[in-house]
Structure 1
């Protein structure tokens, strides 16, 4: 069994935290010339291998002049680490305020003792990016609503986007070539070694929320009001249940107002958990606008 480190961007880290991402794509180096050469490659990753995730991070300000490996005290209970994916105002891993946070450091510099996400390889194969399946695109954390092709007129207004469309668009914009050969890795989360935000431990907590949603069409003045009580869910799951699952057609325009709709949920959730942890209650009341829709949402925590 081997251990590997893989650096990820904030959006990918959050997708793992929300349990929306179960696959990774790692470029093959050097690239094979053709599919025949690709078949002959020795895959470095094997089932059962461990992967620890690197992400943009910071230590206590007193470590600003220290190397990454030196950002650990003899007494590990004193160590505090911040993760940029949690938001710049978030508390450290030991609860310290952001005012004590040191300089942000690149993901590639993160030592293993700082990593909070540990994965186990369940399956691995070699695949070109362009050949990804619809199921794998969803396992990469993408949904059709993320597709934002500016050339939509070429596809036609009736074109039904797919998760694969969204993934390929994102890869081409931020990563490059769609002909790239990659190691496709399906993983599970090692919950015993990972340090997860309590909001995402859906299978280890019992939370009930009352979610009231009011949807107003500003052109027709039509008003739709709904109320849900969700059980055994994090707030992120509760909101997604209402906004994404129940009203994905009504909110097609909404996803275009955010680079990633999930990022919006994450921001809301971090704030809510602060209320839960410090005040033992929650009372959120916010509004989202998208073109001709205005959505008012009230959330009340019913039980811990």
Structure 2
């Protein structure tokens, strides 16, 4: 199983921690980080651990067997009743508020920068039982809803990490894009291009596609509408047809997303505070 343990929390023996981690791996599904790793290559990275009060973290490395975009993982441990217990993977255990508090007290903690960047670098997908109906009249039922995040913030956090720790633990996966698969440089460039030229067809196409994937359906629809208005007969890679399809489906996607947030108002408040604008109300603007 594990080749060696880099860190054994106070109060437990190496054997106890080994048994806990082995149990975690055995119970993991193929969709989880641990389950996706070949057990023979699953090991702690020596000398890479952090302790924050009642929380401790150990770093894992599995070469290329995790997937191209997740070569590293970190297990989170929490002290409970005087004993350290594994909570799961770190990126799934802590809120952005936790990392921001760490940065306030320890501005040079580059781990916090990486995890904030990771948190904002992609859309969040949650399972939701929707009462909306498909165009054919069937009820949607269980489906994934996209919870959007601010990808511009992600890039800023990653850039700050590389500035402070160009040879840091996470630097290689940020630099080659594998540990930060959605840095959205393409999105950022398209936004800059549209600020210079509001009729930039290529930029509008990039924005329409990216905004849809990220859950910004009103922005995606606006970009697609402007694209079609400027180039109604565009056949490059069938983009015109794709844009018209995007316009038709955006209202449906938005309705499902709004239904989810109507039932989770605190989540909506958190997301809108992060984004700095209303998802469903007010004027829609580009970029």
TM-score norm. by structure 2 comes to 0.23
With the length of structure 1 as denominator, give the TM-score of the two structures.
0.22
Query: If each structure's strand is expressed as a fraction of its own residues, which one has the higher value?
Result: 1
Task: Pick the structure with more helix per residue.
Answer: 2
